[in-house]
């Protein structure tokens, strides 16, 4: 994910004081004086501006942190640079789960690319797992879509109440896992009690997104049948049913 470049403009050129004479009484060449000034301006510009790899024309987001530390942390999270991220987090001048472009947080990016170590590090530093991006998606949605089973398990352990959260399209994590074809994540979500018949904005259930006859659809439909059978066993007979059974 690219982070936009904040243009600070060209630094103002300082007024030039008269240059000292050379030993022979002559003045140094004008080109030499101007060249040194340009080099100094370039160095000042490098200090003020974000690196070019943080530039993008697609967003007007500006890094609210001092020293662009949040931008650097986003890059570390995206690339799974756990050691670099660990150094940057204590330097943050903003909350750790501050949102970046598209509302993504550091945890979103780490989960999206399956960087388990970064996910664990962020949670240990107090990053919340229930912060949604601009589309209403949680880090768990990203982990489920990518099929990252260990990341999904860790996020569920941290925030169990995110299990059935639906994003802006109505997709819950199980929809994403079914669409992405991850049998392991689907099995994990079923085990944790995901709503198996939840419909998204297109009235699609997770099994419907997986496609009829697929292993994942059979897995979900089997879990639905097992849950229905369990409910029948647990439901006590009504007084009318009991009377009918006694009459027989």
Mean pLDDT of 137-158: 98
pLDDT single digits (tens) 12-58? 444 344 444 555 555 455 444 445 445 544 544 444 445 454 544 45
In sequence order, which ranges of 80-138 are alpha helices (DSSP H)?
82-88, 106-112, 116-124
Q: What is the DSSP string of 213-234?
A: TSHHHHHHHHHHHHHHHHHHHH
pLDDT single digits (tens) 192-202? 999 999 999 99
**pTM to 2 decimals?**
0.73
Per-residue exposure over 7-39, b if at least 16 CB sit within 10 Å of its own CB, e if not: eeeeeeeeeeeeeeeeeeeeeeeeeeeeeeeee
List, in order of start, the domains of the chain with CATH numbers: 49-247 (1.25.40.20)
User: What CA–CA distance (Å, rounded) separates 140 from 132?
Assistant: 10
- The closest alpha carbon to 214, from 176, 181, 172, belongs to 181
Above 80 in pLDDT, residue 76?
A: yes
Above 50 in pLDDT, residue 182?
A: yes
Average pLDDT score, the chain: 82
Instruction: Check residues 102 and 154 and name the one with the higher pLDDT.
Output: 154
Instruction: Check residues 129 and 60 and name the one with the higher pLDDT.
Output: 129
- The closest alpha carbon to 167, from 131, 127, 215, belongs to 131
Sign of CA dihedral 177, 179, 181, 187: positive
- Percentage of residues of the chain with pLDDT beyond 70: 71
């Amino acid at each position: 994910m690219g982070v936009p470049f904040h243009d600070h403009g060209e630094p103002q050129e300082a007024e030039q004081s008269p240059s000292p004479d050379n030993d022979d009484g002559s003045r140094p060449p004008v080109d030499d004086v101007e060249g040194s000034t340009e080099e100094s301006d370039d160095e000042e510009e490098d200090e003020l501006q974000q690196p070019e790899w943080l530039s993008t024309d697609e967003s007007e987001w500006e890094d609210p942190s001092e020293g662009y530390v949040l931008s650097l942390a986003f890059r570390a999270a995206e690339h799974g640079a756990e050691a670099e991220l660990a150094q940057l987090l204590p330097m943050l001048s903003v909350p750790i789960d501050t949102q970046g472009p598209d509302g993504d947080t550091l945890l979103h990016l780490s989960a999206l690319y399956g960087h388990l170590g970064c996910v664990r590090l962020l949670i240990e530093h107090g990053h919340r797992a229930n912060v949604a991006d601009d589309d209403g998606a949680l880090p768990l949605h990203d982990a489920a879509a990518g099929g990252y089973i260990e990341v999904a398990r860790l996020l569920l352990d941290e925030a169990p109440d995110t299990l059935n959260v639906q994003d802006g399209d109505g997709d819950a994590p199980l929809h994403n896992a079914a669409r992405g074809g991850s049998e392991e994540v689907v099995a994990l979500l079923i085990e944790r009690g995901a709503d198996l018949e939840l419909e998204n904005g297109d009235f699609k259930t997770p099994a419907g997104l997986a496609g009829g006859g697929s292993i994942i659809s059979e897995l979900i439909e089997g879990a639905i049948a097992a849950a229905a059978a369990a409910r029948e066993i647990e439901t006590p007979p009504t007084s009318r049913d009991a009377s009918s059974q006694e009459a027989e």
